[in-house]
Amino acid sequence: MKEYTPEYVGSVTKYVFVDSPNTTPQDIAIAAYEVAMGVMIKETCFGVQVTGTPDEVTRVVDALRKLDPYHIFIKDRGFPPGDQRRCRANLGGARPGYLGHEYEISLARFISYGLRETDTMNDNDLLKAAVPIRRASPLDIDDLLSIIETEEA
């Protein structure tokens, strides 16, 4: 164990992801610099990371979301950008947590479509649209056994 002195105490970091046919991460970065006013902006391949006081970060991400509301997704990040425990420059390979983002951004097109479609729905339409998603149940073990036995016969 060693003594630990934290950096960026009191700051908040948020990820801004974009998955859009019309808006690129570069557009997001330029727009972020325009409204940054001293807030730290880090450009990434998927959008930007914004670090600053909670109020400043909220102001910047709210402005960015307006660029393409159905295709921009925002979440909190625990570590500040460049933290040696997470930054891939120190670790090598993909940053821990990247695989989760990669998986979820593959769903972004369905969520974006859902956001667009539900935007104008009233409460009754929302309840009608909120049907549980059904998945086919996995193969029953007895069925699998009978298939194996049939193949062997």
Partner 1 sequence: MAKVFIYPATSLMLSDLVARFGHEPLGSALSIRDHIQTPGFDSPPLQITPEDPKKGLRWAAVEVPSGVRGRMSIYGPLLDAAEAAIIVDDAEFAFGCMGCARTNELLIFRLKQKGIPILNLVYPKTQDEGVAFVASIKSFLKELGGDEQ
Beta carbon nearer to partner 1, 122 or 150: 122
User: SS3 of 103, please?
Assistant: helix
**By CB under 8 A, is residue 92 in contact with partner 1?**
no
Beta carbon nearer to partner 1, 129 or 145: 129
| Cα gap 98→63, rounded to integer Å | 25
**By CB under 8 A, is residue 120 in contact with partner 1?**
no
Single out the residue of 142, 131, 44, 134 nearest to residue 94, CA to CA.
Answer: 44
Single out the residue of 69, 67, 66, 31 nearest to residue 50, CA to CA.
Answer: 31
Touching partner 1, residues 29-88 (CB under 8 A): 62, 65, 73-79, 83, 85
For residue 113, count CB atoms less than 10 angstroms from its CB and return exposed for 0-12, middle for 13-18, buried for 19 or more.
Answer: exposed
Beta carbon nearer to partner 1, 134 or 140: 134
Q: What are the structure tokens assigned to 49, written together? A: 């990371």
**Least distance (Å) between residue 101 CB and partner 1:** 6
> Which amino acid is present at 78?
G
Enumerate binding residues for partner 1 (CB under 8 A).
1-6, 8-13, 15, 17, 62, 65, 73-79, 83, 85, 97, 99-101, 103-105, 107-115, 117-118, 121, 123, 126-127, 129-133, 135
